[in-house]
Structure 1
Amino acid sequence: MDMTELQDHPVFTRDFTVMTFAMAEACEIAVDAIFMRQTGIVFYGLSRVGKTYCLNEIKNKLIGFMPRTYVTHIEVKKKDGTYTNNIIWQLGKEENCYFKSRDIVIAKLDSFVERILLRCHERGCNHWVLLLDEFQKLRYFDLHLLADIFNMLQRKKITMTVLSFGMDGIFDLRDDIQHRDDGELLIGRFMTNFIEFPGCRDKASLKLILDAFDRSSEFPESSGISYTQGLMPRAFSSGFSLVQYIQPIWSALNREALGAYHNNLPLEHVFLSLRYLLRFGAMNDAPDFKLSQEAIERAVKLSCIKTFSLLAGEKKNHE
């Protein structure tokens, strides 16, 4: 295969999701918490371990398996120089509920709550699920506004669940809120249940990913052809698979991963390494094709996992 043939494949368009162990567990916990109508649950983890992909998967599951909820999904944006009204503006924009610049806070809250009531009525439900990405970017005043929305909806017999993903900065946010007069109320409402979302921590987790490429993936749709088979048909027909190389791939990734990412690999760089390997294999496909140690190490280095983990560690130390 040449580069032109490869460019539309899901491996290289990144139009696919592998249900890792961490993602499957988080989805199960999240869906159960929403079913039980818990008020708040927070998943936290390092950057690039797959939190955003997991949040999108949870959203898809809610649409498919829990249709009697109304779901809003936003990524929290932090505005420089502002200390209030930030979250209500973002929520309003997501729900096409626009406010006038002269509107006071209570007017914005009233307008937004009416919009959620309308959406729930349209769906015949009484449960609003708010999915928040980058939870650590929220501020004290944002959480106050979310608590106000919660109370206003509760009076209208609508349950509100906030399901969030964030980085370790969520603990700084919690510590700050604890010293506020009403900190216990906000923490009790939204921040009592913290669950770690890890990266790829062991060979079993990596094996699941490699098996997905080798066996459970499919392209074209309904073809029964896995990603590895489709990209390397001659090698695959002779017994080649990525999972055969699990030990050298795992070792190469962990040699480059530093600090908190050692034995906790960032999935973005794991998948990038595999894309380099599959591109190399596709362009050199042959019945006797084998991955050399040099090819594996080169793919891992090209993923820049070492540079990323080093910079991420330095940033964390400076915070």
Structure 2
Amino acid sequence: MENHLIPVGTHPIEVGHYLLPTKEVLRLMDNLKKIVLNRLPGMIVYGRPRLGKTTALKFALENLPHFINAPIPIFIANSNSYRFPSEEKFYADLLHDFQFPFIARRKPGELRNQIVNLLKEKAELSRLRRVILIMDEAHHLTESHYHWLMDIYNQLDREKISMSVICVGQEELLTRRTFFLGQRKSQIIGRFMTHEHRFFGITSLDDFKAVLRCYDSPEISAYPENSDWSFTRYFFREGYEKGHRLEKDAALIYQQFQNLRREHGVNSKLEIPMEYFTYTVENALKIYGTHGEKLEWISAQNWLDSIKLTGYIESEIYMALAGNGD
């Protein structure tokens, strides 16, 4: 298929809708298998902002049923922050995030029953009688929120339905767990925080190579699906046919990140958030590829400019200032 047959602006790189099976995703999937297969009630997934934790978790969970040969209903909700949290707000937010069509002002118990019935209905379609709930931005959850989640868990348990709650958030999740330990809140920790997964960004040249390889490989990033047009080939057809690959540029890109950090006095340990790394690649493909300047391949300066456009270095500077308490 000729790449020009794809309407401009519809490629996954251009719309930003694609998922890559990176090393961190596969490592996360291994831990999720243990949670599901051992019927464990919960896990916290934490790391610095913009690492791609939620996206990685969605990819892992969407592909998990294939690995365990059984469908598992997955629900995703955002942990909203309120000055005065309430049961009614919490349950109504869950139903909204579950796209429940008839959310009316009801008593908290009635809202909770709606949630339980919805989860039960979906779980009964799976022979595992399991349901997974992802609480995103979970560092916003208070002790009350965990008690309300426990109520849902207990109601489902009485119906012989197992629920696993995956709390995804920033490193404050560990601080919250330490607080609960000090307050002897063993029922919360035992249900939701016993198991943990530290999510990492891109930290090494090998990580660079592994992610870039995904863009090069039609087995991973073909578009249209089941074609031999990888993302790299689509945007740099001529360069691709001459043997150019993003993976071969890994050392160059790695050095450009390091040079930029050094230039701005960023001395923290290298851990590039996945979001900034993918934005870098997307910038290079869109600006210099077939729908942009139509270059044969990407130069060192092009890569540097692509990194700068993401706002990565500004983010690192602000993170360093926050870490120093300035």
| Partner SS state of residue 128, structure 1 | strand
Once the two structures are superposed, residues 252-292 of structure 1 have per-residue CA deviations (whole angstroms, 9 ceiling, x without a partner) of: 123335465x4211111111111222231434446xx4533
The residue that corresponds to 2:138 in the other structure is 135
| Distance in 2 (alpha carbons) for counterparts of 1:156 and 1:168 | 34
The residue that corresponds to 1:23 in the other structure is 25
TM-score w.r.t. length of structure 1: 0.87
Q: CA deviation at 1:62?
A: 4.2
**Match for residue 239 of structure 1 among 233, 243, 246:** 243
Query: Taking structure 1 as reference, are residues 9 and 40 closer, same or farther at Cα in structure 2, changes over 3 Å only?
Result: same
Query: Taking structure 1 as reference, are residues 40 and 218 closer, same or farther at Cα in structure 2, changes over 3 Å only?
Result: same
Letter in 1 for 2:188: L
Once the two structures are superposed, residues 152-195 of structure 1 have per-residue CA deviations (whole angstroms, 9 ceiling, x without a partner) of: 222222212112221111022223323435x1111111101121
Structure 2: which 5+ residue stretches go unaligned?
none
| Distance in 1 (alpha carbons) for counterparts of 2:213 and 2:203 | 16
Q: CA deviation at 1:201?
A: 1.2
Tell me which moved more, 85-94 or 192-201: 85-94
Matches within 5 A, 1:308-319: 308-318=315-325
**Match for residue 188 of structure 2 among 180, 186, 198:** 186
**Match for residue 196 of structure 1 among 195, 198, 220:** 198
The residue that corresponds to 1:72 in the other structure is 75
| Distance in 2 (alpha carbons) for counterparts of 1:106 and 1:227 | 49
Contact 1:48 1:267 in 2 (8 A): yes
**Match for residue 161 of structure 1 among 160, 164, 169:** 164
Q: CA deviation at 1:248?
A: 1.6
Is 1:252 the counterpart of 2:260? The answer is no
The residue that corresponds to 2:215 in the other structure is 213
Percent of residue pairs bearing the same amino acid type: 19
Q: CA deviation at 1:66?
A: 5.2
Contact 2:135 2:168 in 1 (8 A): yes
| Distance in 1 (alpha carbons) for counterparts of 2:119 and 2:293 | 55
Q: CA deviation at 1:32?
A: 2.8
The residue that corresponds to 1:53 in the other structure is 55
RMSD: 2.7
| Total equivalences in the alignment | 313
Q: CA deviation at 1:134?
A: 1.3
Q: CA deviation at 1:196?
A: 0.6
| Partner SS state of residue 129, structure 1 | strand
**Match for residue 280 of structure 1 among 282, 288, 297:** 288
Query: Taking structure 1 as reference, are residues 259 and 20 closer, same or farther at Cα in structure 2, changes over 3 Å only?
Result: farther
Q: CA deviation at 1:123?
A: 4.7
Letter in 2 for 1:228: T
Q: CA deviation at 1:68?
A: 4.5
Query: Taking structure 1 as reference, are residues 111 and 272 closer, same or farther at Cα in structure 2, changes over 3 Å only?
Result: closer
The residue that corresponds to 2:298 in the other structure is 291
| Distance in 1 (alpha carbons) for counterparts of 2:94 and 2:272 | 33
Q: CA deviation at 1:91?
A: 2.2
| Distance in 2 (alpha carbons) for counterparts of 1:124 and 1:174 | 33
Is 1:228 the counterpart of 2:236? The answer is no
Letter in 2 for 1:127: R
| Partner SS state of residue 73, structure 1 | strand
Query: Taking structure 1 as reference, are residues 71 and 293 closer, same or farther at Cα in structure 2, changes over 3 Å only?
Result: closer
| Partner SS state of residue 222, structure 1 | coil
Structure 1: which 5+ residue stretches go unaligned?
none
Contact 2:42 2:195 in 1 (8 A): yes
Contact 1:199 1:264 in 2 (8 A): yes
| Distance in 2 (alpha carbons) for counterparts of 1:5 and 1:68 | 34
TM-score w.r.t. length of structure 2: 0.85
Letter in 1 for 2:238: R
Is 1:12 the counterpart of 2:14? The answer is yes
Is 1:271 the counterpart of 2:273? The answer is no
Once the two structures are superposed, residues 14-66 of structure 1 have per-residue CA deviations (whole angstroms, 9 ceiling, x without a partner) of: 12211110111101211231121111111111111111111211331245555
| Distance in 2 (alpha carbons) for counterparts of 1:274 and 1:68 | 34
Q: CA deviation at 1:5?
A: 6.5
Q: CA deviation at 1:305?
A: 0.6
| Partner SS state of residue 41, structure 1 | strand
Contact 1:272 1:303 in 2 (8 A): yes
Matches within 5 A, 1:99-138: 101=105, 103=107, 105-123=108-126, 125-138=128-141
Q: CA deviation at 1:135?
A: 1.3
| Partner SS state of residue 134, structure 2 | strand
Q: CA deviation at 1:107?
A: 4.0
| Distance in 1 (alpha carbons) for counterparts of 2:71 and 2:229 | 36
Contact 2:236 2:297 in 1 (8 A): no
Q: CA deviation at 1:119?
A: 3.2
